[in-house]
Amino acid sequence: MAEVLTQVPADDGRYDVIAVRKRFPALRRTENGYPVAFLDGPGGSQVVDIAIDAMAGYLLRGSANTHGVHGTSVETDEIISNCRAAMADFLGGTPDEIAFGANMTTLTYAIARAIARDWREGDEIVVTELDHRANVDPWTSAAEERGVKVRWIRVDPELLVLKTRDLSDIITSKTKLVAVGLASNAVGTINDVKMIAKAAHEVGARVAVDAVHAAPHIFVDRDEIGADILVCSPYKFFGPHLGVASIRRDLFDRLETYKVLPQYNDPPDKIETGTLNHEGIAGAEGAIQFIASLGQGDSRRERIRSAMETIESYEDPLANWVRAQLRAMPKVKVYAAPDGVRKTPTIAFRVDGWAPRDVCRHVLKKAVYVASGDFYATTLAMVLGIRESGSWVRAGLAPYNTREEVERLVELVSEIAE
Ligand SMILES: Cc1ncc(COP(=O)(O)O)c(C=O)c1O
């Protein structure tokens, strides 16, 4: 049993949430006479001022296509290469391993289609029951086209962690690729990707890691966790709608991507079909600058690491407090891995007798924004048998959320759940 914390964790003074909030113009929004409590971050965070300014600045100064000799074109090339460097600092790897796309899902389809050209009948791939379908379906549809068998790492429906005890039965010499999420966007479980990647590499398989949900909350090190492909989405970490992939150079060089004839054949351009979202890329670099500004260190990578540790140590106790409060309510069921399993500050729950969507409507009366549904963690919702009844209510913390906001959520839920 989790300890029921009666007090909201005290601010330890290391982190100035008021200063952080000033950087997010959307937080001025009000509804029903209340300042909006944006607890819908796992669906997309609010955007930081510096990212908005970078996007507007690009369009105001004059946009252009790339590789020209005129000023706006040269600036566009600079913006793209600066953002590749920023993303490499954020995720690990080098700037030429960073590719941009419309979003994580579209990038993953492009990567899957390219990598699958090498797959043959008799090969196998591995996906998980805990993942968002964006890290499942691109791989399984490519597998289907190539006559490749799909195997699943199951989820423990009680513990909400992946069942990895029999991994060597699932990841075998036939395995070509293992796709696994760094964190569950529904219940927040952070997976031991390093261990799974090690098992994959021992049999010569590639590892594709979905870091979309993890990247706003924990420090990500592509090489340390053993990802050959790592994808994320800046709109989840204070930037605009965009997708980013970091692909290890040894794989990227060999990847036969689907591309038009005149497109460069070198990484990263070879996977970036068409004209990129230049203003979005400008904004994404702004988001990384903001994150780095919350940390300390000599290099930007060190500042990002320190910032992400600070963010985690701010968000984590607040999320634990919310889970404990909700668990203490007779009509609430919280879906979370046991204490001791590292989690993102994402809280999934249901209220007995209430459709998840109606819970969202109820808390709206004091302008609390939470979401409902399966959030494309569809397999998990099916395994738990809750998909037909609306899956979950999901509240997610971001670095701009306050203690008052989570108290407001808890109080509102208690009105219908005590
Ligand atoms: C864990 C996870 N993976 C993938 C995605 C899909 O990302 P995108 O919208 O960039 O395609 C999401 C979006 O919510 C997500 O939470």
* pLDDT single digits (tens) 308-348: 999 999 999 999 999 999 999 999 999 999 999 999 999 99
Q: What is the pLDDT of residue 1?
A: 31
Nearest CA to ligand 1 atom 7: 104
pLDDT-above-90 percentage for the chain: 96
3-state DSSP call for residue 247? strand
pLDDT band at 13 (very low <50, low <70, confident <90, very high): low
| pLDDT of 290 strictly over 60 | yes
* pLDDT single digits (tens) 36-47: 999 999 999 999
Instruction: Give the pair of three-digit tokens for residue 393.
Output: 């209510």
**Which strands, in side-by-side order, build the sheet including 332-335?**
332-335, 346-351, 392-396, 371-373
Q: Which atom of ligand 1 is nearest to the CA of 242?
A: 10
To test ligand 1's pocket by mutation, which of 376, 378, 379 has the most ligand atoms within 8 angstroms of CB? Answer: 376
Q: What is the pLDDT of residue 2?
A: 35
What kind and span of H or E run contains 251?
helix 249-254
What kind and span of H or E run contains 84?
helix 71-91
pLDDT band at 11 (very low <50, low <70, confident <90, very high): low
Q: Where are the alpha helices (DSSP H) in 294-385?
A: 300-327, 356-363, 378-383
Per DSSP, 344 falls in state -
* Ramachandran class of 209: left when φ > 0, alpha when ψ lies in -120 to 50, beta otherwise: beta
Instruction: Give the pair of three-digit tokens for residue 55.
Output: 């996007």
- Can you tell me the mean pLDDT for 141-157? 98
Per DSSP, 26 falls in state G
What is the average pLDDT score of the chain? 96
State whether the beta carbon of 212 lies less than 6 angstroms from ligand 1: yes
Q: What is the pLDDT of residue 168?
A: 96
pLDDT band at 241 (very low <50, low <70, confident <90, very high): very high
Residue at token pair 């390219």: 114
pLDDT band at 3 (very low <50, low <70, confident <90, very high): very low
Instruction: Give the pair of three-digit tokens for residue 362.
Output: 């109820």
CATH, range 52-292? 3.40.640.10
State whether the beta carbon of 134 lies less than 6 angstroms from ligand 1: yes
Helices (H) and strands (E) in the chain, counts: 14, 15
Residue at token pair 């790897």: 93
- Can you tell me the mean pLDDT for 11-21? 83
pLDDT band at 418 (very low <50, low <70, confident <90, very high): confident
To test ligand 1's pocket by mutation, which of 104, 182, 220, 392 has the most ligand atoms within 8 angstroms of CB? Answer: 104
| pLDDT of 10 strictly over 70 | no
Q: What is the pLDDT of residue 4?
A: 38
Q: Which atom of ligand 1 is nearest to the CA of 43?
A: 14
pLDDT band at 12 (very low <50, low <70, confident <90, very high): low
* Among the listed residues 6, 156, 43, the one whose alpha carbon sits nearest the alpha carbon of residue 393: 43
Instruction: Give the pair of three-digit tokens for residue 147.
Output: 């006559």
What value, to the nearest 5°, has the Cα angle with vertex 16 and ends 12 and 21? Answer: 140
State whether the beta carbon of 378 lies less than 6 angstroms from ligand 1: no
Q: What is the pLDDT of residue 343?
A: 98
- Can you tell me the mean pLDDT for 369-381? 98
* pLDDT single digits (tens) 79-112: 999 999 999 999 999 999 999 999 999 999 999 9
Q: How many CB atoms lie within 10 A of CB 65?
A: 12
State whether the beta carbon of 396 lies less than 6 angstroms from ligand 1: no
- Can you tell me the mean pLDDT for 358-370? 98
- Can you tell me the mean pLDDT for 13-20? 87
- Segments making up each domain of the chain, as ranges: 17-47+300-417, 52-292
| pLDDT of 125 strictly over 70 | yes
Tell me the residue ranges of DSSP E strands in 32-93: 34-35, 37-38
CATH tag for 17-47+300-417 (out of 3.90.1150.10, 3.40.50.300, 3.10.560.10, 3.40.430.10): 3.90.1150.10
State whether the beta carbon of 233 lies less than 6 angstroms from ligand 1: yes
- Can you tell me the mean pLDDT for 255-275? 97
Contacts of residue 334, defined as CB under 8 A and 6 or more positions apart, other chains included, come to 323, 326, 327, 347, 348, 349
Cα 158 off chain centre by: 23
